[in-house]
Structure 1
Amino acid sequence: MAVIEHALLPVRAGNEEAFEAAVAEAKPLITASPGFISLEIFRPTATRQAYLLLVKWRSIADHRDGFRQSDRYRQWRALLHRFYDPMPEVSYFGEPL
């Protein structure tokens, strides 16, 4: 059963362009991870809204115990986490109804 990782990414105002450039650099880090299926990051439609991150994984363990414990995640964090205020919370969702 695949799972969806969901997070709202609250990017500091005025940093959107730099954040999007950092995302382009960071994408290969996550896509190379075992258990990774797909990634979508949606732009907000109004100011002061967060970006929406949806990542499909083969399992929660592939994300939490695989990617998050890897050197790729340390690089991902260095590229992207400086843009967030506050830090995003991650949730997981199962199969659609």
Structure 2
Amino acid sequence: MSSENFRQLKPFFSILLIISTLFAIVFLQMEERRMGYSVLKLTREHKKVSEEKRVKEIALAKITRPQLLDHMAQQKFTLKKIQANQIIHLSGVVEAPVNKVAKKDL
């Protein structure tokens, strides 16, 4: 390639470089916009799931509150409230009292 041929092609290469740069800029802007929409969609979905979780936690707390469980046990299953003499205390091994004999008693 001679220097004369290269000079003739210089304007073509510069225009090609400018056009490719503009295409790259447009492509990057489109990708940025697309990613922004993806992030927006995921953010909305996250908020929706968080709200559903909060609602379910509140429903669980309402269902398992002690007063409701006690009421259901008495109404549905006809259970009665416990009385003091019905409570059985389970503790560790109970040792029988050992009669300690002193040496001088022998």
Q: TM-score, normalised by structure 1?
A: 0.19
Query: Whose strand fraction is larger, Structure 1's or Structure 2's?
Result: 1
Q: Which has the larger radius of gyration?
A: 2
Query: Whose helix fraction is larger, Structure 1's or Structure 2's?
Result: 2
Q: TM-score, normalised by structure 2?
A: 0.17
Looking at both structures, which has the greater relative contact order when contacts are Cα pairs under 8 Å and sequence separation is at least 6? 1
